[in-house]
Amino acid sequence: MPQTHETDVLIVGAGPAGLFGAYYAGFRGMSVTLVDSLPEIGGQVSALYPEKAILDVAGFPNVKGRELVNALVEQAASANPTYLLDRTANALTLGDETVTMGLDDGSEVVAKVVVITAGIGKFTPRPLPAGDGWENKGLVFFVPSFEEYTGKDVVIVGGGDSAFDWAHQLTGIANSITLVHRRDQFRAHQATVDAVLAGPTDVITKAQVTALVGDGHVEKVEITKDDGEIVVKPAQAVVAALGFVADLTAMKDWGLEFDKRHIRVDTTTRTNLPRVFAAGDITEYEGKVRLIAVGFGEVATAINNAAPLVFPDQGVFPGHSSEGS
């Protein structure tokens, strides 16, 4: 049965910026609810790069995506946030003192302010043409955990960062790794490409996976090269790393001002809509740099500038977290 949730702050997007925003909302004494279209917390980092080393977060010389998300979840727990996962925010209604967000399951969230930290928006994986009917039968689009691939033959399709990151990380875990790309040039970071090419991964270029074969579960794949040669590889797992399609339709329908694919904000991270802020990769302003570290600062700015709307007797400046404890 559809429910109505009431909260001080609604954060749309439970990635790193959203999680830090939840902590900060709690620090300012606000109740907070997070909505995310993905079924797990952590946004794109959890879905795409859980084992990738992240090197540009202050205070962490080297931290894996999963470890960073786990630490952010632990930090956000102090705010006792409500998580509404696997649900898409699709309808926004502005009131005098509240904003109501409708979700795709029929429920709604009534909040005093909204902070959008949706990254690239709702995103869905590009399909593997030969993979129709094989999803959950060996075909996947994400690799959130490597242990389940121990001793398996894995075929990865794609030439971007995700494909090469997963090929690199599965080295020494999987029995064999084959990476298939339709071109002989790659979009991945060159250092990772070099590491994969120097390792045991069989990289097949100018080719496409044209068939998955098996009895109820994939057992092998057929790879067709541009010259017509067909290569058959054993595979108990096929990872389609072909990129994602971002869907910003709902947010554009809300009346937000966009700069191409990003929400335009001012120096306080306010959007053109009252009581609606935005932070992280989804935003645009002059001099914008899209880093996780920048998103942390932006969402803290958003929450602090939202505070007077939640508590009219409070100012923007939060005080220091080390005070009074």
pLDDT tens-digit map of 120-164? 666 677 899 999 999 989 999 888 778 899 999 999 999 998 899
Residue 255: other Cβ atoms inside 10 A: 12
Q: Is 69 left (phi over 0), alpha (psi -120 to 50) or beta?
A: alpha
Look at strands 82-85 and 32-36 and give their pairing.
Answer: parallel
Q: Give the CA distances from residue 190 to residues 161, 197, 295, in Å, rounded to whole numbers and listed in that order.
A: 9, 10, 26
State both tokens at 217. Answer: 């579960």
Range of the domain at 206: 127-242
Residue 160: other Cβ atoms inside 10 A: 15
251 and 115: one domain?
yes
Q: What does the pLDDT look like over 154-166, one tens digit per residue?
A: 999 999 988 998 9
**CATH number, domain with residue 229:** 3.50.50.60
SS3 320: coil
Total domains in the chain come to 2
Could you give the count of Cα atoms lying within 13 Å of 233 in the half-sphere of its Cβ?
28
Is position 194 within any domain?
yes
Q: Is 277 exposed, middle or buried (0-12, 13-18, 19+ CB in 10 A)?
A: buried
Is position 32 within any domain?
yes
Look at strands 63-64 and 53-54 and give their pairing.
Answer: antiparallel
State both tokens at 167. Answer: 């090929």
198 and 150: one domain?
yes
239 with 166: CB under 8 angstroms?
yes
| Residue written as token pair 């740099």 | 289
- Enumerate the known binding-site residues: 36, 44, 49, 89, 123, 281, 322
Q: What does the pLDDT look like over 206-256, one tens digit per residue?
A: 999 999 999 999 999 999 999 999 999 999 999 999 877 777 778 889 999
Averaged confidence pLDDT in the chain: 92
- Enumerate the known binding-site residues for FAD: 36, 44, 49, 89, 123, 281, 322
Is position 315 within any domain?
no
Residue type, 155: V
